[in-house]
Amino acid sequence: MKIIFAGGGTGGHLYPGLAIARALVRCEPTVEPFFIGAKRGIEREVLPGTEFPHALLDLHPLYRTRPWDNWRTVRGGVTAWRAIGRQLRFGKPRLVVGTGGYAAGLVLGYAAVHRRPYVLQEQNSHPGLTMRAFSRWAREVYLGFPEAAALLPRGARTVMVDSGNPIEPPPPVRPDSRLARERWDLAPGGRVLLVVGGSQGARAVNEVVAAWVRDGVPTGWQVIWATGRGSYDSYSMLESERVRVRPYLAPIAHAYAAADLALCRAGAMTTAELCAWGIPSVLVPLPTAAADHQTANARALESAGASLFLPQSQFAPSRITETLATIDADPARLARLAAAAAARGRPDAAETIARRILTLLDVKQIRS
């Protein structure tokens, strides 16, 4: 049973599709996921290392700030349209799953024109252009943030599902916090701040955190800081008795288990993982993110009581210290934030989506 996955350009659009595909195969081994992505997207690096067959096409985004480059989009779209048609005819796929980004747009357009059924998975609280364009003809839309439903057009048959974002869930038996801190060679007492800027790091976050660490980490706090691979050499010398500096956290489970609070960007998948682990956060959104969607994510989680929103324009070493001091003065606040984060968590989102897809396709025997 072939199912087409379309999405990519960035990891935030590709990895949800991979999580859903793997959950589908676990639930029903006869499912054969096939991925369609862009030659210029992150999928060209990731998909060849996965277990899934795929096709990389000459797909391009709309060049809004360089409209003279949109000839590439048109040229690539013409050739890709034919290739998409071949894939949607070969093997008679039962469904298309769109996870957003420019790599999904043309595939969903083909499916809509040829009346092929499709579902969508929207990661952010502010839906992207592709999702807004195609949600009205979708059978189901799986929402990473329930707030997105109000911004998505829906047809008479469209079902909006508050599924959460599909992530790698926490292990059934989570690492003990004390043992996790021992693994990091941190003191068992006090609190731990986890700083994460993404796999490549976040320069603006790293620079402020570095200045804050140089000023001295407040008493009672310890730090696990992932700088990003490209930035590690610039900050590794700041490791100390209470500060652990790493280029990247993989696996990240023991860092999550040790953490009381996270300081990070407001990407959809990062915040989904934090909520699944019940970790409250201070979110510093990337101001240049498309349609400023990270700010929308941060505001949504702050309104839910799960996070504290700190715009990058106000982000400074003193604000980190002030935030931690506020938490120290009201310990119950951290517990309230953690409870609200856990309430927003959907650790089983990938399996939930997979089972809904199989039910939609009238697959009766769903294996566990």
Length of the chain: 368
The pLDDT score that the predictor gives to residue 79 is: 73
At residue 365, the pLDDT reads 47
Q: Where are the domains of the chain?
A: 2-169+348-360, 177-344
User: Tell me, which fold does domain 177-344 have in CATH?
Assistant: Rossmann fold (3.40.50)
Answer whether 2-169+348-360 and 177-344 agree in fold.
yes
- What phi and psi, each to the nearest 5 degrees, are found at residue 92? 45, 65
CA distances from 270 to 21, 31, 199, 263, 289 (A): 20, 28, 11, 11, 14
Low-confidence ranges of the chain (pLDDT < 50): 365-366, 368
Provide the residue type at 71 as one letter.
Answer: W
Can you tell me the distance from the alpha carbon of 45 to that of 51, in angstroms, rounded to the nearest whole number?
13
Predicted confidence at residue 71, as pLDDT, reads: 61
How far is Cα 338 from Cα 177, in angstroms, rounded to an integer? 14
Question: Closest Cα to residue 22, out of 361, 249, 353, 256?
Answer: 353
The sign of the CA dihedral 87, 89, 90, 95 is: positive
pLDDT at 84: 85
pLDDT of residue 43: 87
Tell the CATH topology of 2-169+348-360. Rossmann fold (3.40.50)
Residue type, 37: G
Of 19, 268, 241, the closest CA to residue 146 belongs to: 268
> Whole-structure pTM over 0.85, yes or no?
yes
pLDDT digits (tens, 9 = 90+) for 20-76: 999 999 999 999 999 998 887 788 889 999 999 999 887 666 656 676 665 665 565
With beta carbons less than 8 A apart as the criterion, state whether 24 and 3 touch. Answer: yes
Q: How far is CA 337 from CA 86, 100, 349, in A?
A: 50, 30, 21
Q: What is the pLDDT of residue 72?
A: 63
At 185-232, the pLDDT tens digits run: 999 889 999 999 765 568 899 999 999 999 999 999 999 999 988 889
Distances (CA, A) of 307 to 265, 270, 283, 335: 11, 13, 7, 12
CA 96, CA 6: separation in Å to the nearest integer?
Answer: 7
Our CA angle for 90, 134, 16, nearest 5°, is 70
Please name every residue paired with 5 in a beta bridge, in sequence order, or none if there are none: 35, 97
φ and ψ of 115, to 5 deg: 55, 40
